[in-house]
Amino acid sequence: MWIVWALLAAVSAALVIVLTKAGLKNVDSSLAFAIQAVLILLITWSVVLYQGNLNAIKSIEKNTWIFLLSAGICTSLSTLFSYKALSLGPASYVVTLERSSLVIAILLAVLFLKEKVTWQLIVGAAIMIAGAALITFSDNAK
């Protein structure tokens, strides 16, 4: 079932890139994200309330709070940086380089989460790096 959710996330992320790029024509990138962040807050807290999970907030441990808040800071910074890049460059090139985060995430997962390294993981990551480099350094990217 995780594959379905991952594919839905991928489609949603692709739509975010295209819709954001279209919306950044006459709007500052930070303001655009701030507007979207309001909707993010409303939608996510509505889902929490609908699912009846609000009481679970009391049982979150200190270390978990630290991880979640740190991830929230990183999410905000990542999005601000991504929106700025989208305001300056072509979406197809920006997203290609930005999604090299997948390779960084693989490395961090192996180092800190002790996830298993396989030859398929190594080859896949190498192909992602090669693809990002190929697109980023092409003549059309400038």
Q: In the chain, how many domains are there?
A: 2
Report pLDDT for 139: 73
Tell me the pTM: 0.85
Residues 85 and 109 placed together within one structural domain of the fold: no
Q: Which residues contact 97 (CB under 8 A, 6 or more apart)?
A: 85, 132, 135, 136
Report pLDDT for 140: 66
Angle between helices 119-136 and 91-98 (to 10 degrees): 150
Query: Does residue 94 lie in a domain region?
Result: no
Query: Does residue 21 lie in a domain region?
Result: yes
Instruction: For residues 77-91, give the mean pLDDT.
Output: 94
pLDDT by residue (tens digit) across 107-141? 999 999 999 999 999 999 999 999 988 988 887 65
Residues 71 and 40 placed together within one structural domain of the fold: yes
Residues 76 and 107 placed together within one structural domain of the fold: no
Share of the chain above pLDDT 90, in %: 87
Instruction: For residues 12-30, give the mean pLDDT.
Output: 94
Residues 38 and 6 placed together within one structural domain of the fold: yes
Residues 79 and 133 placed together within one structural domain of the fold: no
pLDDT by residue (tens digit) across 94-111? 998 999 999 999 999 999
Burial per residue of 44-79, b for 16 or more beta-carbon CB atoms within 10 angstroms, e otherwise: eeeeeeeeeeeeeeeeeeeeeeeeeeeeeeeeeeeb
Residues 60 and 108 placed together within one structural domain of the fold: no
Backbone angles phi, psi at 52, to 5 degrees: 75, 30
Query: Does residue 62 lie in a domain region?
Result: yes
In the chain, the amino acid numbered 48 is V
pLDDT by residue (tens digit) across 35-52? 999 999 999 999 999 999
Report pLDDT for 142: 58
Residues 29 and 65 placed together within one structural domain of the fold: yes
- Report residue 92 as tokens: 């197809």
- Range(s) of the domain holding residue 131: 100-142
Chain-wide mean pLDDT for the chain? Answer: 93
